[in-house]
Amino acid sequence: MVPMHRIPIFGMRGIGLKLSRTEYEVAVMSTLQSIEKPLSLESVEARLPPLHLPGQENILPALRRLAIGMVFPLLLLALWKVATVHVWLPPQLLPDPAFVWESLKEMAASGELLGQALVSLKRVLWSMLLGGGSGLALGFAMGLSPRAKAYLYPSFSLLSQFPVIGWSPLMIIFFGIDEALKIATITVAVIVPFAVATYKGIQNVPVKLMEVGRIYGFSFRQTLWHIALPAALPAILGGVRQGGMQAWLALVFVELLASSEGLGYLLVYSRNLMQLDVVMVCMAAIGLIGLLFDLALTRLEQHFSRLSPKGY
């Protein structure tokens, strides 16, 4: 304990407080006692700021959004169960959810569902490569070359207005109903979003960047790789996502139209046999795979957009 005679007593006017000498001595004694008292673990923890893990502040909002998003599907599931219990429709038209779940487990265990899904995904990936490459080339040509734009853009604008279903009669005539029909149809659906996104991305490249390339005497290849592509990358990645969505929709259509394997074929085949439980399993698989495909492309777009260089 520090002796009281060694504690400096400041004047009331010096510290700006109107305290009596007794009140001041009491305050000093309590302060000294708090200083000499050893710190406990509880007191140290109480003084520390709360621990926040990285991303912790985003967990609760994400869980809340997930819970809100699950309300409507759960209501539909409950309505479906009530409809089957009260037999609002014949079981041949509206099977019980438990029966559909059992069919899903059987198809997953046998490998049939996975095999058909892989066939469909292979078609989408091949078409994304062919259609994406063609769309990128077309978009870069129209965006970088005024002459190419003058020749190609009017025809492209006209042909891009045709939906995929409008091309199917010609596709069947030229390619038959074999695998080439599926690849060609999905490829046509992919070209348009890739080309449009690439063209608009090139159009939005800052003019000053292009002028820098001209000043330094960049060739067409250097302008493409060092200026146009980095600056247009976010728009191109948006086109990749749109192209993936169009590819999946076109796949389902073409497999419903003419196919001997794939999720669309399995859906049509089961419908013809009045196996509505398998039909619902296929519908759920198509929707879930499409959702996961879109989420993967969205993450890819966000990742490369953050890492996108700005050109030089």
DSSP for 36-85?
Answer: HSPPPHHHHHHHSPPP--TTHHHHHHHHHHHHHHTHHHHHHHHHHHHHHH
Instruction: Give a yes or no: residue 170 inside a domain.
Output: yes
Say whether both 129 and 228 belong to one domain. Answer: yes
- Closest-CA residue to 136 (of 236, 1, 18, 51): 236
Instruction: Give a yes or no: residue 59 inside a domain.
Output: no
Instruction: Give a yes or no: residue 171 inside a domain.
Output: yes
For residue 144, the model assigns a pLDDT of 84
- Closest-CA residue to 82 (of 99, 100, 96, 69): 96
Say whether both 202 and 267 belong to one domain. Answer: yes
Instruction: Give a yes or no: residue 48 inside a domain.
Output: no
For residue 221, the model assigns a pLDDT of 82
Say whether both 188 and 102 belong to one domain. Answer: yes
φ, ψ of residue 229 in degrees (nearest 5): -65, -50
Instruction: Give a yes or no: residue 64 inside a domain.
Output: no
Q: Which domain holds residue 20?
A: 4-41
Say whether both 23 and 116 belong to one domain. Answer: no
Calpha distance 153→146 (Å, rounded): 10
Calpha distance 191→193 (Å, rounded): 6
* Token duo for residue 17: 């407080």
What CATH number is attached to the domain comprising 278?
1.10.3720.10
Domain count within the chain: 2
Say whether both 18 and 166 belong to one domain. Answer: no
C-beta separation of 293 from 285 below 8 A: no
Give pLDDT < 70 ranges for the chain: 1-58, 306-312
For residue 57, the model assigns a pLDDT of 56
Tell me the pTM.
0.70
For residue 162, the model assigns a pLDDT of 82
Q: Residue 271's Cα: distance from chain center in Å?
A: 32
